[in-house]
Amino acid sequence: MGAYDRPVLDDEIAFAGVAGQAELVRRGGVSAHELVELVLGRIERLDPELNAFGAVYAERALLEAAQADARAKAGEDRPLLGVPVAVKDEIDIAGEITSQGTGAIVTRAPADAEVVRRLRAAGAIVVGKTKMPELGLWPFTESVTWGVTRNPWDPERTPGGSSGGSAAAVAAGMVPTALGADGAGSIRIPAACCGLFGLKPQRDRVPRAPHDSDRMHWVVFGALTRSVRDAGLMLDVLSADTEGFMQAAQRKPERLRIGVAADFPAGARGRLTDDVRAALDETASLLRSLGHTVEERRINTRARDVPVIMGLIFRAVRDLVDAVERPERLERRTRTFARAGALVSDRATDRLLDAERAIVARLIAMFDAHDLLLTPVMAAPAVPAGIMEGRGATVTYLWETGWVPFTILWNITGQPAASIPAGYSREGLPLAVQIVGRPHEERTVLRLAAELEAERPWTDRRPVIA
């Protein structure tokens, strides 16, 4: 093999995706040891500029790769045998600090979270932990503790948040997939910023133990991937049941009734950029050409929903802050949110939860007339990194409601939603649309997403930093 051929081959392997890398190991095209060495080399080369990883477990990963090769030689067949993966630093790895993007947490986790256990049982090799904003509160990945994480498509832009480190790592080909968590869009927003497919599964589809004792019922765990097929494979591995999600992602959908909503939810102010509006309109036109019924409609939100949602957010942040060991190390805007949450008593929280159930019923009723809903993910592509540096909690929150108001509603309802690549802006930044499915209908979301991927493929495009 010539000196030129090897880097080209390495790039092809790095961007082969989860299923592609698993198949290479399965048929002996590459060993798990070679694959992990490739990934560690890419992290060493690319991460100094991207700042996606908070920890890299090189020695441990190489040891596990040797064990994976021994299993493969013995004829074992696991779905992710030898595939390197990363884990967002919101999810426990035994013996490691789950920092949640802050220096206020210092205790090491006693055991792997259930999703990490499932990854390992499937044969995956955890190579490192990815960065996030403090306590996952913001749609950008920047913190006093861990610095600024950057977007592989343009290092002057954010990769989104809160799973921004995971998105940057996958987009740059440092790993084929990474775990994320989505409490208000934290998988879908970074996927949209980084040109990835990001599925928020149905609530409770993927177990959150031991992180499910915090009453954060909006939060779900999932994976960021390059392709829809890979997302289906990862959901098969992570889910609490055997739904055959990867198989569903390879089947053409029936004709669907799809609602298109471009309006901002009540309480959010802003406008879609021309690029984002064009991506939404072009996707709607493509869906019509594929035989689906596509109709414009408004999202059924009301002004009185806003204080309900805000009250629950404030209380959730207060509960998160109460759980940290060194609260004095928290950022100023985090402490500001927590002070507001201290005003939301247990009794008030119960009343807010009652009101939330009415919001959920009203939103889910939209799907009586539609199988899926198509919306923007963000009002604009990835914004400049550091755009909210030094800003307070109120200013930051008001700004983010103008940029990313389209995702949080589906955390409230719990139903599946996905960010799907939809071309590129005039500046070469990824664009995306969001598809929201009926409750428990990830398979329909995956089928339609795969149909869009087949019509306008995106996995062959690679970012500037790769």
Across the chain, which distance is largest between two alpha carbons, in Å? 70
- Please give the pLDDT value at position 278: 98
**Same domain flag for 235 and 376:** yes
Kindly name the residue from 31, 143, 162, 239 that is annotated as catalytic: 162
- Please give the pLDDT value at position 3: 38
User: Does residue 1 fall inside a structural domain?
Assistant: no
C-alpha 186/C-alpha 297 separation (Å) is 25
**Same domain flag for 42 and 117:** yes
Q: Which domain holds residue 54?
A: 7-303+353-455
- Please give the pLDDT value at position 346: 95
Residues 6+ apart with CB under 8 A from 460: none
Q: Cβ(231)–Cβ(447) under 8 Å?
A: no
- Please give the pLDDT value at position 242: 67
> Which residues is 287 bridged to in the sheet?
none
Q: Cβ(80)–Cβ(117) under 8 Å?
A: no
Q: Which of 329, 352, 375 is the last residue of a domain?
A: 352
Residue 88 annotated in active site: yes
User: Does residue 411 fall inside a structural domain?
Assistant: yes
**Same domain flag for 258 and 236:** yes
Q: What is the dihedral of CA 454, 456, 460, 462, to 10 degrees?
A: -140
Q: Cβ(246)–Cβ(255) under 8 Å?
A: no
pLDDT, one tens digit per residue, over 393-428 is 889 989 999 999 999 999 999 999 999 999 999 999
**Same domain flag for 401 and 433:** yes
C-alpha 96/C-alpha 110 separation (Å) is 8
SS3 374: strand
Here the tokens at position 423 are 């071309």
**Same domain flag for 186 and 158:** yes
Rg (CA), the chain: 21
C-alpha 354/C-alpha 123 separation (Å) is 43
Q: Which backbone phi and psi does 376 adopt, to 5 degrees?
A: -70, 165
Angle 117-442-256 from CA coordinates, rounded to 5° = 170
Q: Nearest-CA neighbor of 378 among 261, 275, 272?
A: 272
HSE-CB for 338 with a 13 A CA cutoff? 17
**Same domain flag for 326 and 445:** no
C-alpha 401/C-alpha 37 separation (Å) is 42
**Same domain flag for 205 and 321:** no
**Same domain flag for 199 and 155:** yes
pLDDT, one tens digit per residue, over 46-92 is 999 999 999 999 999 999 999 999 999 999 999 999 999 999 999 99
Here the tokens at position 245 are 């999600």
User: Does residue 409 fall inside a structural domain?
Assistant: yes
**Same domain flag for 220 and 333:** no
* Amino acid letter, residue 45: R
* Amino acid letter, residue 55: A
User: Does residue 63 fall inside a structural domain?
Assistant: yes
HSE-CB for 353 with a 13 A CA cutoff? 13
User: Does residue 277 fall inside a structural domain?
Assistant: yes
**Same domain flag for 331 and 443:** no
Kindly name the residue from 186, 227, 239, 419 that is annotated as catalytic: 186
CATH number where 232 lies: 3.90.1300.10
User: Does residue 449 fall inside a structural domain?
Assistant: yes
Residue ranges of the chain whose pLDDT lies below 70: 1-8, 242-243
**Same domain flag for 259 and 322:** no
**Same domain flag for 86 and 135:** yes
User: Does residue 466 fall inside a structural domain?
Assistant: no
Residue 162 annotated in active site: yes
Q: How many distinct structural domains can be found in the chain?
A: 2
Q: How many CB atoms lie within 10 A of CB 206?
A: 23
HSE-CB for 344 with a 13 A CA cutoff? 23
- Please give the pLDDT value at position 255: 97
Residue 129 annotated in active site: no
Q: What per-residue string of b and e applies to 10-19 under the rule 16 or more CB within 10 Å gives b?
A: beebbbbbbb
User: Does residue 460 fall inside a structural domain?
Assistant: no
C-alpha 448/C-alpha 230 separation (Å) is 15
HSE-CB for 176 with a 13 A CA cutoff? 29
The DSSP string of 212-229 is GGS--TT-EEEEEESSHH
